[in-house]
Amino acid sequence: MTTRSKIALSDLCYLDIERGVLYKSGLSYPFSKSQTLILQCLAQSIGHPTPKITLTKYIWGEASESVDRLLYQNIHRIRHKLEDDAHNPQYLITVKGFGYMLNHSK
């Protein structure tokens, strides 16, 4: 199921992009405003990498070292809600030297 506002990541896990909520195994996990904006930006090109600079400008309107740290911290927090194993992500993938990608389950 992939619609404008909902993205199925697996049979038991989907994102409601407009509301900024993850539904996983019958539970809901809300995202902060920044985290929701990150997911909205990534969802525009699901399955394809999004450059870090695109994300930082979309969320905060600028790119800088301090904003890069904010992005990294928010990605870290998203993964802890989204992934079964945040250290071995399946859905929110780092594309080394480029940016991040939101994936469907395989």
pLDDT in tens, 34-90: 999 999 999 999 999 999 999 999 999 987 888 889 999 999 999 999 999 999 999
Residue 25 CA to residue 12 CA, distance in Å, equals 5
pLDDT, residue 65, reads 81
Contact criterion met (CB below 8 Å) for 74 and 35: yes
The answer, yes or no, to whether residue 3 has pLDDT greater than 50, is no
Pairing of strands 92-95, 99-102: antiparallel
pLDDT grade, residue 106 (50/70/90)? low
